[in-house]
Structure 1
Amino acid sequence: MKEKLDIAIVGATGVVGESLLELLESKELSVGKLVLLASDRSLGKVMYFKERSIKIQDVATFDFSSVNVAIFVAAADASETFVPKAISAGCKVIDASSYSRSNANIPLYVENISTEALGQSAHIAVADSSAAIVSQVMTAVQQVTQINRADVLVYQAASGAGREAVEELVKQTVHMMSGKGREDAPRELMPATLGFNVIKTDEAYDQQLASEVVRLTTIDAGSVMVSSAWVPVIYGSGFMLHLDLAEALREEQLSTAINAIADLSWTKEVVTPADQAAGKEQILVQLAQQHPHNAKRIALWCVADNIRKGVAANILSAVSALQG
C-alpha cells in the first residue's frame, strides 16, 4: 500500500488551486493530511475535499514541518518567500510559479516528459501551462522524426492570469453587452480591455515560454520561437505549431505518434478551446495543413484546458510519481 502523503497547497483559493482540488478528489492518490493555505485575505474561507470542509489557513504562520509535500500554485512573490521555508522544513516542494521555472538549476517537470526530475531534487518546478501543452505535442512528434524548427502561436485564455483576470473579463463583457462603451470598461490587470479583443503578451513572457520549450524538448534554442496573445476566453487555450521536420510524415504517422502518448488525442473534427477542451484533461491535436510545396513543413492545431490540463494535471502527475 502506498504511503499516505501529508500535503499543503499554497494558493488554494485561486483558479489553479480549485482545479487541483477537483482533480485530487477524482484521482486514486493516497492523501493523509490536506492543508489549504492562502494569504490573510482568504482567512476564514472554507473549501471542500471529499465531503470534508477545510478552513483556509494563513501561509505566513504555517509550520511546513507538519507536512511532507508543499504544492505552490500562488504568485511568484509568494513562492519566493515561502518555498525556501518549506524546503528548510524538510518538504518536497512542487512549485508552479515563475519563481522556480525561471531557474535553470531547478528541474522542470511535465507529465509524459520529465519524470526523472523527481528523484533528483527536493525542489521541482512545474512548467508554464502553455509550455507544458506544446512540449507534450512536440515530444510525441519527436518520437517519429526530428523537429528542426518550431514557430509556436499561443492563444491564451484569461484564466492563465488568475482569478482576478477572469472576473475582469466577465465584468468587461457584461459592461459592453449592456451597450456601454469600451473606453470606460473596468480594467486594472491587462494593458488593454480584453473583452471582445485580443492583446499581445509581452516579449519577456514569450521568451520565457520558448526557453521552457527548449529545456523540455531539447530542440536548439535558435530554432524555437513563441508568440502569444491573450484572448477573451475563460478556460481553454489554443496553439498553432508550425514545425519544420527532418523528414516528411503522413497524417497516419502523426496520428499514431500523438495517440501513443497518454491524454493526447488526434482528431479530424472541428475543435475549439472552449467547446472541446475546457474542463477536460486531454490535449486535442489535428493537422491544420501540410505545406503544398514542402511536405516537411506542417502546422498542428492543438487545444487544451490551460488550467486543468496545463497545470493541475501536471502537478498531480508529479505528486503521484512521488508516491511511486
Structure 2
Amino acid sequence: MTKKYNVAVVGATGAVGQKMIETLQRRNFPVNKLKLLASAKSAGKMLNYKDELIVVEELTEASFEGINIALFSAGGSISEKYAPYAVDSGAVVIDNTSHFRMKEDVPLVVPEVNPEDIFTHQGIIANPNCSTIQMVLSLKPIADHLGLKKVVVSTYQAVSGTGKKAIEELKEQSSAFLNKEKYTPKVYPHTISFNLIPQIDVFEENGFTKEEMKMINETKKIMHDAKIQVNATCVRVPVFVGHSESVYVETEKPINVEELRGLWEKFEGLKLIDDPKEQLYPMPRNSEGVFDTMVGRLRKDVNSDHAASFWVVADNLLKGAALNAVQIAEKLISN
C-alpha cells in the first residue's frame, strides 16, 4: 500500500489555501488526514475535500501534533510564528510566504529546476515568489544549454496575487467605472480597473519595489548563480488570474530559435505555444486552472545572436503558489 501522510493547510480559507486543497485532490496526493487551519475569525467554516466537508480549525501552537507535512500560506508573520511549532512537532513545513526564502539554511525550490535542494532542508522549505517560479522554469533550459548571462523581465501580474479582497476590488471598480460611479480604492494605492499600476509591494531605497527585488534575489538563489544579471519591473494589471512576463535574455552561446523551442518542448512543466501565423501564444485567460507554464513569442534579438525575447504565462495561484508547494511535497515523499 502507498504510504499516506497527515497534511495541514495553514491559511486554508484564503485564495492560495483553497487552491492547495484543490491541488492535493487533483494530483491525488496520498493524504491520510487533512487538517485545515486558519484564524479564529475563519474557524468553524466548512471546506470541501474529495466530497467530504472538513471543519476549519483555529491555528494554535498545538495544531501540528501528528502532522507530517504543513503547507503554509497565511502571511509572513504567521509563518514566522507558527512554522517553528510545526517543525518541533515533526512536520516538514512548505512555506508560501517570503519570510524564509532568502535564509541560507532554507532551500528555495522549484521542483523542475532545483529538486536536489529539497533534501537539504532542516524542517522548512520555501516556495518562491509566484513571478519568479514561472520565469526560472523558462530560464533553466537556457542556462543549462546556452549559459545565462543576463535577464531583463517586465511582469504583468493579476490581482489574485494580492488575494480575495483584490479580486473583489477589481470587480467592484470595473462595475463602478462602467456605471460612472465613484469608487475609492481600498486594496491598491490607485484604481486598478482599466488601469496599470507599476508598483507591486513597497519601494526599496534603490528605487526597486520589494517584489522586483524578490525576483532578482530569488532567481540567483534558485539557479545557484550569483553572477546572473537580473533586472525586473513588476506591474499590476486588471486581470483576475494569470501572471504574464516579457523576458529578455543574453546568453554565453549563440541562440538557435528552433533549438530553444525544442528544449522547452522537452522540459517538464513547460508548454510551448508559439505559432505567429495562427496567432497562437500564451495568454492569462487560457492559463487559469492549467498546471503547465506556457511560453511563446520567442524571437532572436535583431542586434545580437546571443540574445532573445519571449513571453511567459502561468496561473499564479497554481504554479505560482499551490501547485509548486504540492510538487515539493511530492518530491519530498518520493525519497
TM over 0.5: yes
Does structure 1 residue 278 correspond to structure 2 residue 288?
A: yes
Please tell me the root mean square deviation across aligned C-alpha atoms, in Å.
1.5
**Correspondence for 2:297 among 287, 291, 297:** 287
**Counterpart contact for 2:282–2:296, Cα < 8 Å:** no
Residue pairs, 1:15-30, within 5 angstroms: 15-30=15-30
Q: Deviations over 1:273-296 (max 9, x none)?
A: 332212211111113432222121
Contact kept? 1:287, 1:298, Cα under 8 Å: no
Distance 1:226 1:100 in 2: 21
Question: Whole-Å Cα distance in 2 between the matches of residues 61 and 177 of structure 1?
Answer: 47
Q: Is the 8 A contact 1:68 1:91 kept in 2?
A: yes
- Distance in 2 (CA, whole Å) between partners of 1:97 and 1:19 is 15
The 5-angstrom pairing of residues 143-158 of structure 1 reads: 143-158=144-159
- The 2-side partners of 1:126 and 1:30 are apart by 20
Name the structure 2 match of 1:170. Answer: 171
Q: TM-score, normalised by structure 2?
A: 0.91
Q: Give 1:272 deviation, angstroms.
A: 4.5
User: What is the CA–CA distance in structure 2 between the aligned matches of 1:247 and 1:66, rounded to whole Å?
Assistant: 51
Aligned to 1:254: 260
Q: Which amino acid aligns with 2:219?
A: V
Structure with more helix by fraction: 1
Deviating more after overlay: 199-208 vs 238-247: 199-208
Query: Which amino acid in structure 2 is aligned with residue 188 of structure 1?
Result: K
Aligned residue runs from structure 1 range 6-17, under 5 A:
6-17=6-17
Compared with structure 1, are the counterparts of its residues 146 and 61 closer, same or farther at alpha carbon in structure 2 (3 Å cutoff)?
Answer: closer
Q: Which runs of 5+ in 2 are unaligned?
A: 204-208
Q: Distance in 1 between matches of 2:50 and 2:319?
A: 21
Provide the C-alpha distance between the structure 2 equivalents of 1:104 and 1:169, rounded to a whole number of angstroms.
38
Query: CA separation in 2, counterparts of 1:175 and 1:258?
Result: 43
Q: Distance in 2 between matches of 1:146 and 1:116?
A: 20
Aligned to 1:125: 126
Of 196, 218, 221, which residue of structure 2 is paired with 1:212? 218
Shift of 1:61: 5.8
Partner deviation per Cα, 1:5-49 (whole Å, 9 max, x = no partner): 100000011111111111111113211010000001112211000
Post-superposition offset of 1:220: 3.5
Is this contact kept in 2: 1:304–1:310, CA < 8 A? yes
Residue 63 of structure 1 corresponds to: 63
Q: Which residue of 2 aligns with 1:229?
A: 235
Distance 2:285 2:29 in 1: 29
On the 8 A contact 2:257/2:299 being kept in 1, the answer is no
Corresponding residue for 1:92?
92
Aligned twin of 2:245: 239
Q: Is 1:5 the equivalent of 2:5?
A: yes
Answer yes or no: is the 8 Å Cα contact 2:112–2:269 preserved in 1.
Answer: no
Poorly superposed stretches of 4+, deviation over 6 Å: none
Matched ranges for 1:301-316 at <5 A: 301-316=311-326
Deviation of 1:60 (Å): 2.4
Whether the 8 Å contact between 1:197 and 1:231 is mirrored in structure 2 is: yes
2:196 to 186, 195, 198: 198
In structure 1, runs of 5+ residues without a counterpart are none
